[in-house]
Amino acid sequence: MDAIREGKSSPVKHRSTVERTSEREMVVTRTVNGPARLVYEAWTTPALIQRWWMPKSYGIAFVSCEADVRTGGTYRFVFRHPAAEEPMAFFGRYLEVIPPSRLVWTNDEGGEAGQVTTVTFEEKGGTTVVVVHELYPSKAALDEAIASGSTGWPDEQFEQLDEVLAGGGRV
Amino acid sequence: MVHYTHTSFDRSFAALSDATRRGVLERLGRADASITELAERFRMSLTGMKKHVVVLEEARLVTTEKVGRVRICRLGPRRLEEEAAWLERYRRVWDERFDALDTVVEDLQRKEVGNGRNTRG
């Protein structure tokens, strides 16, 4: 039950845009309500990352979340899906850390085909424009990710997500 | 001659069951090519390559277009549909992620105000 009240109490809800900008690149853009330093804090503090990184509708829980956010530091996110025997680990290394405006990290769980993720935070009048840029090592690597449907998550989770979205529900 | 049941799945399966046709798709993933170029690349006759391309066309994995005297092959709508569907799912992942991020950032802001860090400007 969303209370539609005089607009000042409920901030504008933004929508993400996604674009394949080249044979090797994906770009996601989204505006977040809040200053860049707080958005950056949420992206770099493990206790906070655990609250938002994994979409709730997947039913996948964080097992652990480690992030040594400095140039050359590593991160390791471990998840468990109730239907899976083994936990799933996502890990890599921070190549660039410039608070509160820029983060660059590798995605090493997939081996050679892993993409490099660059996130920039640009503050604009109390909101922050977040741009997530993913650069794959080759066209074939991005094509492969698309062909295998791999955003890393099992398909049935997306069906649940569809139901949630269709019902307009929000956690 | 073998007749396949004409469901979309069977057609794709039949189309992809052949190593040359998989090679053609891989090649077209990098750039469009004429049937002549494909025939040369896979060291086969023009007629042989045309047959492969027809199978791929029927499975909607490839489309062809006659440009002048040359027939150009490119990846078909099936591939594009897959890509569009994938993009939409990818967008939803990020949308849900960012919705949760909004909540976290709102909480952080509220805490700052509560702690009196919100200096007057």
DSSP A103-156: EEEE--TTGGGPPEEEEEEEEETTEEEEEEEEE-SSHHHHHHHHHTT-SSS-HH
Contact A140 B109 (CB under 8 A): no
Q: Which two tokens stand for residue B121?
A: 């400007």
- pLDDT at site A34: 92
Cite the beta strand spans of chain B per DSSP E. 33-34, 62-67, 70-75
- pLDDT at site B7: 53
- Distance to chain B for A12, nearest Cα, Å: 10
Give the C-alpha separation, B2 to B31, whole Å.
31
Contact B101 A42 (CB under 8 A): yes
B53 plus B112 within the same structural domain: no
Range of the domain at B46: 8-75
Q: A11: pLDDT confidence band, cut at 50, 70 and 90?
A: low
B42 plus B55 within the same structural domain: yes
Q: A170: pLDDT confidence band, cut at 50, 70 and 90?
A: very low
B31 plus B85 within the same structural domain: no
B101 neighbourhood in chain A, CB within 8 Å: 32, 39, 42, 52
> Would you give the DSSP letter of residue A71?
T
- Write down how long chain A is: 171
* Count of pairs with CB atoms under 8 A, one residue in A, one in B: 93
Between A124 and A153, whose confidence is greater? A124
Q: A16-54: per-residue pLDDT in tens?
A: 888 888 889 999 999 999 999 999 999 999 999 999 998
B114 plus B62 within the same structural domain: no
B69 plus B15 within the same structural domain: yes
Q: A89-134: per-residue pLDDT in tens?
A: 999 999 999 999 999 999 998 787 789 999 999 999 989 999 999 9
Is there a domain that residue B3 lies in?
no
Contact B98 A30 (CB under 8 A): yes
- pLDDT at site B107: 95
B50 plus B95 within the same structural domain: no
Grouping H, G, I as helix, E, B as strand and the rest as coil, residue A86 is: coil
B66 plus B93 within the same structural domain: no
- pLDDT at site A10: 55
Q: Which two tokens stand for residue A68?
A: 């040594």
- Spell B41-58 as b/e; 16+ CB within 10 A means b: ebeeeeeebeebbebbeb
Which parts of chain B sit beneath pLDDT 50? 1-6, 120-121
Choosing among B99, B111, B115, which should be mutated to test the A contact, i.e. which has the most A CBs within 10 A? B99
Specify the number of domains making up chain B: 2
B14 plus B68 within the same structural domain: yes
B35 plus B94 within the same structural domain: no
- pLDDT at site B30: 79
ipTM here:
0.78
Between A145 and A156, whose confidence is greater? A145
Q: A65: pLDDT confidence band, cut at 50, 70 and 90?
A: very high
- pLDDT at site B4: 38
A171 pLDDT higher than 60: no
- pLDDT at site B12: 65
B62 plus B81 within the same structural domain: no
A159 pLDDT higher than 70: no
- Identify the CATH number of the domain in which residue B15 sits: 1.10.10.10
> A17-150 belongs to which homologous superfamily?
START domain (3.30.530.20)
**Could you tell me the residue ranges of all domains in chain A?**
17-150
Q: Give yes or no for a contact between A154 and A81, defined as CB atoms under 8 angstroms apart.
A: yes
